[in-house]
Amino acid sequence: MTTSLLAKRSGGRLALLLALALLLIPYLHALATGQPETGSAGLAALHSRAESVYCAKGSTPTGTILLVETLLIAVATLLARGWKTHGNPLQEGLARHGPYLFVFLLLTTIPFLLAWRTGSSACTRGKAFFWESVFIDVFILAILAISYNLLFGFAGIVSFGHAAFFGMGAYTVGLLMKHLAFPWVAAVIVALLVGVVIALIKGVVGLRIRGLYFALFTLAFAEVFFLLAGNRILVDITGAEDGFTFAVPDFLNMTKNRLFFYYLTLVLMALAFWLVRRLMGSPTGQVLRALRDNEERARMLGYNTFTFKLIALVLAGILATGAGVLRGIALKGASPNVLGVGFTFDPLLATIIGGIGTFSGPVLGVFILRLVEQMLRDTVLTLGSVQIDIGERWALILGVIFIIIVLAFPKGIVGTLQEQYRRRKGG
Amino acid sequence: MVQQQPLLEGRNVTKYFGGLAAVHHVDFAVYPGEIVGLVGPNGSGKTTLFNCLSRILPINEGEIYFKGKNITHAKPYQVAHMGLARTFQVIRVYRKMTVLQNMLISRQWRGEGILKMLRPSSKATHERARQLLDFLLLGHLMHEPAGHLSGGQRRLLEIGMALMPDPDIILLDEATSGINPTLIETIKDRIRQLNRQEGKTFLLIEHNIDFISDLCSRVYVLDFGEKLAEGTPEEIKNNPAVIEAYFGAE
Ligand SMILES: Nc1ncnc2c1ncn2[C@@H]1O[C@H](COP(=O)(O)OP(=O)(O)O)[C@@H](O)[C@H]1O
Ligand SMILES: [Mg+2]
């Protein structure tokens, strides 16, 4: 029992190290084979060396190496899962974490896959560049959905006001950098603290009311911010309904350094995912599940359930605020719509589609929602002589797809598949 | 009975639901090491009294003392920390968790730091959970989801969960209802063992009169929220008012 527990832990660490090593190889290869831009020196010269390799149009060695690594991990994971020897930490690590490693590597490969398929560069304007921004948006929303799921799926707290966190993250970081000339680190930290304060207020005032009333309370709470942000009284500060823009340091500038921003948001999404998984696997997570299923019982077992809900709310608040901060920096601005109900309902929909209370469900849900939306937007269907511009009706079609998914997968895609898998294994 | 301080005591406990007095001016005391019965027809307020004692429900009048401390306004988790545990008439095990997880969750968090709660439960906790599960004949079902257990097994698991924190008093709400006679004997035997060997105190809501007679030294009878009688099981069985309450009304 203890040895297998140990193996599990060191297996996880080994899997993580493996992932980092795999990620470094393509960059080191690019460094070794590239040509520095003339006139650059020092670190910049090194970096421009690597760029000369991976920023090329079409297929690049960097992309090829990443793709091969991704496929290798897929095969290794399948092998590790298929053939059970006990006690080998690397194998146990791969069997457990391999699927996540695979998805992570696949996502690191995507910019180069896109560059290759569209004959464009991953670093400069073009098709791949555009799709990277779509994925950045997806990663940011995925963090928001992970946060939503932590509250709704795991702790059983229904909030209709998640946009308050998201929007305040974007507004705080932007306003501080714009008007008070905060350095970006300070602005980000203060923004996250604002998220904590909002969570505490919501928790201390709101958690005493239950169920739907709490949901409505959070909705009203978010609406206050929404109305405030759009109000003309503060027009000099917030730009009212038009919002405002602000300058960000070059390395965080998504227009200039998109590939970097892509990896930054990808890593932060992975971190949020890991954090929630870790939390839910701990005793605290078990208590959160327990109080979702039966709060009274949990209280009688000696748990101050209020504290636990508050912990969940604060953590979810930090994650959602962080997502908002990223959104603000990505767009170099904010407008009242980041505080609007859209940013409450999108994560809610994504969570329902993917599977409430599953780990990967909300992330998958966001991917489906956003990528399908993006594809629909510029699709024109030609049936004989009739041309149907799907792009104009994307919302309608997305709605239909949503309904079909919910009917076919009553517990969300991941939730339903898991249940079927379990049933097949049990029966 | 030697006069000593009661472990759990209610003075004038009163609980209204709207105009209905579910528990009305009830005085009682349970002394350390006793097994006390609480009986009465359906709807007489037994479960409500448990809810008041375990602080799930606020009371309208009266006071509750546990270990000499006034807990009238304490929170459920606080009385749990002080050493009061209970089971529920409607079984409330966590169906999606395994039997072992149900047990483990019953022990964690005694006001320890949050960081400690992020770590897996200790070896000692695991060991205690296993021992208790074996004691309750559930050892072989440890890794089954609790939802797969029979009604009787779930009741046993509920008792196990109540025992995990090593409480001083355990309130059992109809621990034998819907359970086959063999399991009832098991439960009876376990309660007796816990009482004699570990000195645990019990307050039992029961309909099974034999169960009460075998285990309890004293019994309280509730009827329409009022204390109708108290005494030894023998006295209660022969008390005309009790017979009237049980059989007269039907
Ligand atoms: N939460 C509640 N709200 C309103 N009435 C209740 C509630 N709980 C119990 N009652 C009422 O209080 C009375 C006592 O119920 P209960 O304590 O469950 O009785 P017992 O456990 O003795 O069968 C019943 O009339 C019941 O309908
Ligand atoms: Mg009852």
pLDDT (tens digit per residue) in A340-377: 888 888 899 899 999 988 899 899 999 988 888 888 77
pLDDT of residue A247: 87
Work out whether strand B201-205 and strand B169-173 pair parallel, antiparallel, or are unpaired: parallel
B110 pLDDT higher than 60: no
Domain boundaries, chain A: 2-118, 129-356
Q: Give the number of other CB atoms < 10 A from CB of residue A6.
A: 12
Asked if B118 and A294 come within 8 Å (Cβ–Cβ), the reply is no
pLDDT digits (tens, 9 = 90+) for A217-271: 888 888 888 988 888 888 888 887 888 888 889 888 888 889 999 999 999 999 9
Chain A to chain B, count of Cβ pairs less than 8 Å apart?
76
Inside any domain, residue B188: yes
pLDDT of residue B250: 46
Q: Which amino acid is at A19?
A: A
A426 pLDDT higher than 70: no
A386 pLDDT higher than 90: no
Closest CA to A212 of A169, A139, A160: A160
B109 pLDDT higher than 60: no
Q: Among A140-149, A183-192, A276-285, B165-174, which is the least confidently predicted range?
A: A276-285
Torsion over CA: A83, A89, A94, A97 (sign) = positive
Mutation pick for ligand 1 pocket among B48, B50, B87, B205 (CB with most ligand atoms within 8 Å): B48
B142 pLDDT higher than 70: yes
pLDDT digits (tens, 9 = 90+) for A92-113: 788 888 889 899 999 999 999 9
Average model confidence (pLDDT) across chain A: 86
A135 pLDDT higher than 50: yes
pLDDT of residue A191: 95
pLDDT digits (tens, 9 = 90+) for B34-87: 999 999 998 999 999 999 999 999 999 999 999 999 999 999 988 998 899 999
pLDDT digits (tens, 9 = 90+) for A32-69: 887 877 777 777 788 888 888 888 888 888 888 999 99
B111 pLDDT higher than 60: no
Instruction: Please name which ligand lies nearest the alpha carbon of B87.
Output: 2
Rounded Cα distance between A377 and A393, Å, is 8
Asked if B118 and A302 come within 8 Å (Cβ–Cβ), the reply is no
pLDDT digits (tens, 9 = 90+) for A296-311: 888 888 888 888 889 9
B242 pLDDT higher than 70: yes
**What is each CA distance from A54 to A38, A123, A354, in whole angstroms?**
17, 8, 34
Inside any domain, residue B237: yes
Biggest CA–CA distance in chain A, Å, is 71
Rounded Cα distance between B173 and B180, Å, is 17
With tokens 């994650």, the residue in question is A319
Inside any domain, residue B158: yes
pLDDT of residue B104: 87
**End-to-end Cα separation, chain A, in angstroms:** 26
Q: How many domains does chain B have?
A: 1
Classify burial at A335, counting beta carbons within 10 Å of its beta carbon; exposed 0-12, middle 13-18, buried 19 or more: buried
Inside any domain, residue B3: no
Provide the residue range defining the domain that includes B192: 8-248
* CATH number of the domain to which B186 belongs: 3.40.50.300
pLDDT of residue B243: 81
**Which of B53, B77, B110 has the highest number of chain A CBs within 10 A, making it the mutation to test binding with A?**
B77
